[in-house]
Structure 1
């Protein structure tokens, strides 16, 4: 006996009737009554998409047609269809045309489940929306980000949803943070699950400080905590329900640490920060530091800032971006906000440079699209039109082409460009190096060609080595009052590859001018950002008395 549903699906997905209203009626139903059950309607929608592809529809037309069909379906089917289209586009490295519509549809389903009291299902839909809204292909694997361009507009669906408001609901603390102890060393607990590189000088100072007792935990290395940081949906569920088994696990792990610590310093606003603020910190003062990529991720939206006393940014332009993304940080009861540069011991970097370094441009760190090494190649091209002595040294591991479609596309373009220059030695790639001060002796001009940086330690280290700094005006912060022009001396910053080439020609016009410019820039770097300067800011932050 023939299956009538199979027959309907076969006819509806044949190329001859893809444009017919019958498909729409099957999704929409008759007089508000569905013709097919929800699961069958979802299957039909996905088969329609495949049929459009087989029938030769242009991808943009197929996506638009499917989005139109989705608007005639019930809310869960509509959300599923739009989200499927969005995730397919993101996997291919494209920004979905219907991204905001898809996220809004998914959040509408989450809101409906939340209103019915089914908060576990609401959390699942909210988590799915967050994964799409903050997908790496949107913010990290391309040269721009819709979030950086318009934070309020991009985040409106999340902030306007009931579940989004529930995420932001402050739960506070039962008691205020206690002042530093006067009769014993300060107990400082440092937690992270991010790159520990930026903690090296901090850990060394406070491990040796007579007025501090230090504990350090990297959660990824701890067998108890590593499983906790790998699960995002339970955090979302806990925030929507107010209680969960996951939250109980975090409490059991963290409470003894909090009972011991006077000050808890959380580095990176990622999973550790979200877990810490699931728990009432008691009298422990909580300090959280943000670096860069967190601002473009979902993690700040899972942190209860009413349980954080101090937030540290590594630059003013990062603070400006994060407070646009999380405006609650600007309210009267928000944590105290600080700007303190990264801890860097710069005195290892000044070393003698060979005269040949004068014509060597250096870009340290090329493992992300955001570093935009193609911009550096264009600067090199302009310089070599008049002087073939200029060359480019690329330091660090290259791009992971398998990270996403967008990264693969950039990688392929970069590979073609480098193939033009490498055979002649105009471009040299040296990979990851352990002796960064050593490789910097070969570099006379240090570049920052990135589209975004929170501070750019590699640039500052290169500058401390005596290389002339040339900094692109990072496009991610173009709309802001703060950026590289407020972080660095204005003369270091340029807008275009042509301006960069002009600055390089001028500062390397002769050896004496090049060395003088390098010495002056190095002096500024050491006087402004060396650890001997910034450590006093950290002492004050943690509540330690000034030392002579």
Structure 2
């Protein structure tokens, strides 16, 4: 017997009641299931997307990951594709924009200790990659002329571009400002009065390749062309807004190099970029290359940019200083201002240590977690403050806040801890190791168990998986000052020989100045290790 067709208007009424209930109850899961069933039966494409989007917004505002997040952003993609097929390009761009803002909302990927993208990069992005609108946006527009070979009769003109974040560019710009074979310019898009207003707006960056932003296209072309015409090579820091903006126009014969750190992989920017206008993508860790290419597999296509793994540019020798007398029992945690750092995990390690010996204490360095961005961030911040209210009065924890003297602070740390759930390379840990603090590194859950992970970035004996293992390692390496000092010296030797700028800078020279463009930092040992697992 056939099932009678329920009118969309009735289903929408039920769905809206379920959404309202989700906003009022602490147990919204039944209402969310009702919503999913009713929205699934709605035939009107736009109404379905509106219902699922509203429900997703309700859950995200509560700091929760919507049960139907993929279906919600997929429903917007269906609207985008229908609009594009009908020739409604602006409406298609608007729907794709809504889909991206849902899919890459900060709550699922930034303000929690798990991410659906890291759990299943290819699966989470499958609907986006199947969308005809999304494919049209990233369809290769290429360049009219190939990138020119480096000049031999004058210095290479290098333009280094960022947008309001040059945190990891200091050593690079310092080296190439003084390099006889390079003429250097830097460009901060956020500080340029002409480019700053143009380098904003996800929707118009989507509309441009769809052919509905003629005036914007002309403005971007006019603003960027003088920079592109001057430069032989453009090095774009962060694979985010600046990289997407710089590739809106044909770079001509100028070579484009983009460096990706970590957070960009959890944003929509790599999913709207035309990589046919990028010649090289530099990753600072193999596990980030692996995760990103799983989510954006067109980076592995035959016509994709060259992919490189180059360690970050770090001046580690300035951290090699003698330890203070009381460093042995001090565990350091540098960088606590993001939920991904998971300082509560570090506090659990501290509790286990103090259950054995109350001389252990934790020194926390860096700014506090901001509770404002989302309910999820606020919840973690509140739980962390409760933990600290318990531990700080006993002297077990000391919060230093931000400091300009990290090398000085590290002289008082005998152990350096990485409690993070994800990292690109964890600069604070590398600095601590260079300073002779014994590293104890959580096997970062976002990449644990993959061919490339924490275990292929660091020596195996640094890695732990649980607070209990972390505590046992700390107790073992601090059993005496002689044991701790010896382990610290070995950690410092490894850090300086592997990650210090004196070691890494030749890789960047080869990338930017060399004729052999297949450049990566030495990874033969970890690659063999990963392949053997």
Which TM bucket (shorter chain)?
Answer: over 0.9
Partners of 2:443 and 2:363 in 1: how far apart?
Answer: 21
Q: Give the direction of change, closer, same or farther, for the CA distance of 1:194–1:48 in structure 2 (3 Å limit).
A: same
Selected match of 1:59 from 17, 21, 28 = 28
Q: Deviations over 1:481-529 (max 9, x none)?
A: 0011111111111111111111111111101111111111101111111
| Aligned position for 1:245 | 215
Which one of 121, 126, 133 corresponds to residue 91 of structure 2?
121
Give distance in 2, aligned partners of 1:85 and 1:68.
13
Mapped partners of 2:106, 2:56: distance in 1: 13
1:514 to 476, 484, 504: 484
1:27 paired residue number:
9
Of 398, 412, 422 in structure 1, the residue corresponding to residue 382 of structure 2 is 412
- Structure 1 residue 229: Cα displacement: 2.5
1:483 aligns with 2:453: yes
2:196 corresponds in structure 1 to: 226
Count residues in correspondence: 513
String of CA shifts for 1:428-456, please: whole Å, max 9, x gaps. Answer: 11100111111111111001110000111
Determine helix, strand or coil for the equivalent of 1:504: helix
TM-score with structure 1 length normalisation?
0.90
- Is residue 2:501 matched to residue 1:531? yes
- 1:74 counterpart (34, 40, 44): 44
Among 91, 115, 121, the residue aligned to 2:61:
91
Query: Does the CA contact (< 8 Å) of 1:27 and 1:69 recur in 2?
Result: no
Q: Determine if contact 2:8/2:42 at 8 Å carries over to the other structure.
A: no
TM-score computed with the length of structure 2 as normaliser:
0.92
1:150-169 alignment, distance < 5 Å? 150-169=120-139
Pick one of 427, 436, 442 that aligns with 1:466. 436
- Alpha carbons 1:90, 1:137 under 8 Å: kept: yes
Task: Tell me the SS of whatever aligns to 1:434.
Answer: coil
Q: Conserved in 2, the CA contact under 8 Å of 1:355 and 1:511?
A: no
Higher radius of gyration, 1 or 2: 1
Are the aligned partners of 1:149 and 1:479 in contact in 2 as well (CA < 8 Å)?
A: no
CA 1:332–1:348 in 2, change beyond 3 Å: closer, same or farther? same
Equivalent residue for 2:115, pick from 104, 129, 145: 145
Change (3 A) 1:485 1:449: same
Q: CA RMSD in A?
A: 2.1
- Say if 2:159 is the partner of 1:177: no
CA contact (8 A) 1:314 1:341 kept: yes
SS state of the match for residue 198, structure 1?
A: coil
- Verify: 1:383 aligned to 2:353, yes or no: yes
Q: Which runs of 5+ in 1 are unaligned?
A: 1-20, 30-40
Q: Deviations for 1:454-480, whole angstroms, at most 9, x for unmatched residues? A: 111110011111100111110100242
Q: Structure 1 residue 353: deviation in Å?
A: 1.1
User: Does the 8 Å contact 1:45/1:81 carry over to 2?
Assistant: no
Question: How much has 1:336 moved relative to structure 2?
Answer: 1.0
Note closer, same or farther for the CA distance 1:242–1:485 as it changes in structure 2 (3 Å cut).
Answer: farther
Which of 299, 304, 317 is the aligned partner of 1:334? 304
Task: State the match for 1:318 in structure 2.
Answer: 288
Alignment deviations for residues 279-324 of structure 1 (CA, whole Å, 9 cap, x no partner): 1111111111000010111000111111111110001111111111
Whole-Å Cα distance in 1 between the matches of residues 22 and 175 of structure 2?
A: 61
1:501 has 2:471 as partner: yes
Q: 1:50 to 1:363 in 2, by over 3 A?
A: closer
* Closer/same/farther in 2, CA of residues 45 and 190 from structure 1, 3 Å limit: farther
CA distance in 2, matches of 1:58, 1:347: 53
Is the CA contact (8 Å cut-off) linking 2:104 and 2:266 kept in structure 1? yes
| Alpha carbons 1:315, 1:339 under 8 Å: kept | yes
Q: Return closer, same or farther for 1:50/1:306 CA change in 2, 3 Å cut-off.
A: closer
Residue 62 of structure 1, CA deviation: 2.5
Q: CA deviation at 1:239?
A: 2.5
2:90–2:212 CA contact under 8 A, matched in 1: no
